[in-house]
Amino acid sequence: MFERELVDSMFLDRWTIVRTINRQSVAEHTFLVAHYANDIAVCLGIDPKMHLGLLQFCLWHDAADEIFTGDLPGPNKRGLLDAIGPEAKEKWDAKLREWSHRTFSNLTERMGGSRSPNDAYIVLLIAKVADWMEASVRMATEDQMGNRCASRHITPNMKGAIETLHKLIEARYGVKVSTDEVPINPTLAERMYTFLHDAIVDCVDKARRGQSAGPWITREDDSRTYHDPCVDNDAL
């Protein structure tokens, strides 16, 4: 409980093979993934027990492994694991589990405990959508700040989020969802897919354009008006 190693996630850098203007830590990434996953769970009406387990899972989805390995870039990690073969990969995964459970007490419970196969699959998919989405927003923010190296990473990560969202909606509602055309009378699953799809695209687009919800200026009449100091010098 309250293990010192959790603090290390503040000093583990992400995007180690991508040129960035602002560094991002594993702790920051984890915080945002948990928030995005929470919003998705609310939209899908996940039951409270699964919802809590999802948030617990998101808080630990990188911390338990990457505290020991650092944030290995996804392409490198997949390439290395493919190269060493399934038997070596199984041994490596077992070693990571050993380190994690030795360092963090009651880790299984802290990650949400045991789940049915279907619930575990849905929790994993929600976390993956949030994970891909966070990466897209991060790279869109870097692009807006003038990092020309970041732009090529936006679309692949957003594509990953959308493809995983499609799997999530089908698993959640137990029906096939077509992404080729908008149906005349969409089902609940199709409406939810469209809503979340558009929300993800809009979030990334706003990050690319540098839009945010603040700062807010409170007037003498207590009204609150959005002020962009870059274009509205008289607002103050």
Is 199 inside a domain boundary?
yes
Is 134 inside a domain boundary?
yes
The whole domain housing 205 covers 4-226
- The rounded distance, in Å, linking the Cα atoms of 181 and 167 is 17
Is 233 inside a domain boundary?
no
Give yes or no for residue 124 having a pLDDT over 60: yes
Q: CATH number, domain at 118?
A: 1.10.3210.10
pLDDT digits 0-9 by tens, 196-232: 999 999 999 999 987 665 555 555 555 555 554 454 4
**Structural domain tally of the chain?**
1
Per-residue model confidence (pLDDT) at position 221:
57
Q: How far apart are the first and last CA of the chain?
A: 47
Is 232 inside a domain boundary?
no
Lowest model confidence (mean pLDDT) among 38-42, 134-138, 191-195, 221-225: 221-225
* Number of other CB atoms surrounding residue 130 within 10 Å: 26
167 is written with which tokens?
Answer: 């799997």
